[in-house]
Amino acid sequence: MDGGRRRVAVTGVGVVSSCGIGVEAFWSGLFAAPADGLRRVTDFDPTPWFDNPKEVRRADRFQQFALAAAGEALEQSGPLPQDPLRIGVLVGTGIGGLTTLEDQVIVRYDKGVRRVSPFLIPMVMGNAPAAAVSMRYGFQGPCETTVTACAAGTHSVANAFHLIASGRCDAVVAGSTEAAMTETGIAGFTNMTALSSTGVSCPFDRRRDGFMMSEGAGALVLEEWSSAEARGATILAEVLGGASTADAHHITAPSPGGSGAVACMQLALDDAGLSADDIVHVNAHGTSTPLNDAAEAQAMATLFGTPGPAVTSIKGVTGHSLGAAGSIEAVAVVLSMRHGVLPPTFGFAERDPELPEIDIVTGDGRPWTPGATLSNSFGFGGHNGTIVLQPA
C-alpha cells in the first residue's frame, strides 16, 4: 500500500434485497430463515425515486433498484463535496435489462416491429442505472458500468476506491444491480444446472446442489476521508483496498483449488497493506454450488489456514442476486461492523467432509469485535474480485 494515498470512507449505504428493502429491513432479514425457492424482491415501489409515473415506465426494473439503493445511500451520506466533476458513479451489473428485452421480443413477435418500444435500447443497456444516478444527482465525474457477471458489484466498489485513493475523485456512488428473473432467464440458469433442484440454498453444506436465483441492488457512498470528516459526515467504515484477477480456466467453473481466488485475495491484502493474519472475517461468495464452494473453501484454507477467520455467506438468505451480490454483501459487511454481529450462514447444517474445516458462522449469528474483513465475489468467465474493509 502506498502510504501517501488518500484514505477512503464509507459514508452511506443503501439496499434492495429479497430479504428486505432498505437498510433496516435488510439487516433484520439476514437473521430470519428464508422460504425455499427463488428469492424475488416483493412489494417494491419505485415511485419515490422518480419524478413521475412516465419515468418509472421508461426504466427497467434493474435501473429502478439501482436508483432506490443509491438514493438511500446518498440520503444517509448527506451533501457531498461541491465539485460535480469529482463525484463519480460506478454501477455494475451482470446481465442488464433482461425484463425489458424479453417483453419487447414478445411484442415484436406478436404485434410486429412497429410496436417495439422506442425506449427499448436505453432501458436494456447495462449502463442505464449508472447514467440514471448521475443525471438525477448531477454527478459529472467518471460514470461507468462494470459487467463481470457475479463479480460486478465487488469490482465496482474496488474501482471506486481506487478512483478516490488516487486523487481522481472526492466521492463515488458505487454499487451494482440485477433484475434478471424472467421466465427465459430462470430457464437458462435451470437448464445449465446452476440452480438448486431442491429449492434450498445451503452454502458450503454437504447437500448443496446449486444456488437460488435472486435480484436486487446495493450501493455505497465512498468518500475521501478528510472531506467526510470536514463536513461532519458519519463514517460507517473504511475501504482499505481491492483487487481483481481472472482464472483463465473455464467460462463457468472456477480454477481447481481456487488458485485465482487465492491470488485475488492476496493482491487485495497487499493493496490494503495487510497480512492474512490481520483478517478476522471473510464475507464469502458462497453460492451453494458444488464447484464454487469447494474452490472458495480451499482458497481460504490455502491463504488463512484452518479454521481461519469467521466466514459468512448471506446467500443462504438472500439467494444469489448475480451482478448485484457483491455490493449487497459489502453493505452487509458494513452493517455487521456497525452492529457488532456477524449474520449466520443459513442452510449450513452438514459439514462437507471433502472441504477444509473453515470457521462458518451458523445459528443465530455471532457477536464479534469488528476488524479487517475480506469480501469476495467470483463470476462466470473466471472473474475474481475482493475488497478489504475495516471499522471506521
Q: What are the mean pLDDT values of the chain's consecutive 10-residue runs (392 residues total)?
A: 82 98 98 90 96 95 98 97 96 97 97 96 98 98 98 98 98 98 96 94 96 97 97 98 96 90 98 98 97 96 97 97 98 98 97 96 97 97 97 96
Which fold, 8-391?
Peroxisomal Thiolase; Chain A, domain 1 (3.40.47)
Q: Is the dihedral of CA 22, 26, 27, 28 positive or negative?
A: positive
Q: Which residues does 170 contact at the CB level (< 8 Å), separation at least 6?
A: 80, 81, 83, 86, 87, 164, 223, 224, 227
Q: Output the pLDDT for position 191.
A: 96
**Identity of the amino acid at 127:** N
For the chain, list the strands marked E by DSSP.
8-17, 20-21, 87-92, 143-144, 171-178, 216-224, 237-246, 281-283, 310-312, 341-342, 359-360, 366-367, 373-379, 383-391
Q: CA 205, CA 357: separation in Å to the nearest integer? A: 11
**Cβ contact 389:334 at 8 Å:** yes
Phi/psi of residue 178, nearest 5 degrees: -155, 140
What is the pTM for the complete model shown? 0.96
The gap between the terminal CA atoms of the chain, to the nearest Å, is 18
Q: C-alpha cell of 248?
A: 483463465
| DSSP states along 305-355 | -SS-SEEE-THHHH-B-GGGHHHHHHHHHHHHHHHTEEPP-TT--SB-TTS
Q: Output the pLDDT for position 78.
A: 96
Query: Could you give the C-alpha distances from 25 to 29, 78, 238, in angstroms and in order?
Result: 6, 21, 23
Q: Output the pLDDT for position 3.
A: 56
Q: Output the pLDDT for position 2.
A: 54
Q: Output the pLDDT for position 35.
A: 82
Which residues are the active-site residues? 150, 285, 320
Q: Output the pLDDT for position 36.
A: 81
